Structure 1
Amino acid sequence: MSQRITRAVIRRAAPEDAGAIARVEVDSWRAAYLGLVPASDLNALSTQARAASWRRILSHAAATGTRAWTLHAEDAVLGFASAGPTRDEDDDPTEVGELYTIYLLPAAWGRGLGAALLDTAQADLARRRHRVMTIWVLEGNTRARRFYELSGFGRDGARRPTRVGAGSLPEVRYRRAL
């Protein structure tokens, strides 16, 4: 979609945003991971289950250091991101922050909204005195990898398997100074 968004608002997410976040996550997964993840796994994704998970995450965010944001435009939530201290054992969580999630509805791709969400997460981690930001991304997700590379991130050599549906896929880690 080439139409530009003229007014988008990013705000901190709250537990009552869980349903909208889940809808964005499931729709984005089904589009972004088509061909990477078996269609049966994508079709089995449940907005209700993801909403319950996001309600828990957002209800306990203060205790875990997780922060999440929703991007609103055109009277709807079009995207979201979450970040906090790294969960990686090879990094210091006081120095390294991690982008846990960033998703947009497919109709919002290519409109500069992902960059706005990424900027919000980066600024928050920098305010919390993290010096580095990391992101794990499916190795086969070339669209996301290109986005991160254009945003100044580079692969740091770390690689791990991650559970996706009934199987496992490789992820690679990206890193940049804040």
Structure 2
Amino acid sequence: MEVSSMHIRETVREDLPAVADIHVKAWRKEARHLFSADTMASWTVEDRLRKWEKNFAGATSGGTKMYTAEQDGKVVGFGLGGTMRDAKLRIRYTGEVYALFIHPDYQERGAGTKLLEEIMGHLQEIGHKRAALWVPSSFSSASYFQKHAQGPLMEDETTIKGTTLKEEAYGWDKIIVQPKQEKTYM
């Protein structure tokens, strides 16, 4: 029986088609019960790819880093983080996890945890001692952060394509990162 391995690395422009595909598929899985079929159909890989290509340079500069998770040579997830954007949270949490998406076929296999560890390592390297993130409370991923972070720290609302979603912020009062090692996980 062959053991598959997972590798975490910085995202490169050539990863963007896979990133766009993961972004759309993961979003559709999480949001399918919240939006109309027409709205769901409007989230396309082509549109998301155009947005990632346009914004990639900005998403990977100025203290922000983006990482991909590969399993057996296939990109299965991505995440990015940098300095906190929310003025209220920034009082205590200076680092932020901006995004963390795993392809639905690869969820609950450790890719999200490994990406989160890599993002936290980056945040620690650039001087952040605490970090937080926002997640829609109706998303299944919220339960992960309820178990592995403090919170909800704050609640807010965001409107996406005419639908208002409740969001919750979760945080880590101390970024704890394992010593740097090879980025291959079994």
TM-score norm. by structure 1 comes to 0.87
Identity rate of aligned residues, in percent?
A: 24
Map 1:1-80; keep pairs closer than 5 Å: 6-80=4-78
Which residue in 2 is equivalent to 1:132?
Answer: 130
Contact 2:155 2:167 (8 Å CA) reproduced: yes
Match of 1:152 among 129, 149, 152: 149
Q: After alignment, is 80-89 or 32-41 more displaced?
A: 32-41
Q: What count of residue pairs does the alignment treat as equivalent?
A: 173
**Structure 1 stretch 111-120 or stretch 164-173: which is displaced more?**
164-173
Aligned to 2:161: 165
Give the 3-state SS of the residue equivalent to 1:129 in structure 2.
coil
Asked if 2 retains the 8 angstrom alpha-carbon contact of 1:61 and 1:67, the reply is yes
In 1, distance between residues paired with 2:37 and 2:108?
24
Separation in 1, partners of 2:3, 2:127: 32
Give 2:87's aligned amino acid.
Answer: E
Q: What code does the residue aligned with 2:161 have?
A: G
Cα gap change, 1:160 to 1:64, in 2 (>3 Å): farther
CA distance in 1, matches of 2:8, 2:61: 22
Q: Is the 8 A contact 1:81 1:103 kept in 2?
A: yes
- In the other structure, the counterpart of 2:184 is none
1:92-114, CA deviations, whole angstroms, 9 ceiling, x for partnerless residues?
48961111110111110111111
Distance 2:132 2:104 in 1: 24
CA-based RMSD of the aligned residues comes to: 2.1
Provide TM-score, normalisation by structure 2: 0.84
Letter in 2 for 1:150: K
55-64 or 165-174, which moves further after superposition?
Answer: 55-64
> In 1, Cα distance between the equivalents of 2:120 and 2:104?
23
Distance 1:63 1:113, change over 3 A: closer
Q: Which runs of 5+ in 1 are unaligned?
A: none
Instruction: Deviation per CA, 1:55-97: give whole Å up to 9, x if none.
Output: 2332123544321101111331100001110111124489611
Assess, with a 3 A threshold, how the Cα gap between structure 1 residues 5 and 24 changes in structure 2: closer, same or farther.
farther
Residue among 99, 112, 115 paired with 2:113: 115
Equivalent residue, structure 1, for 2:182: none
Amino acid across the alignment from 1:26: V
Which residue of structure 1 lines up, in the alignment, with residue 170 of structure 2?
Answer: 174
Instruction: Find runs of 4+ consecutive structure 1 residues off by over 6 angstroms.
Output: none
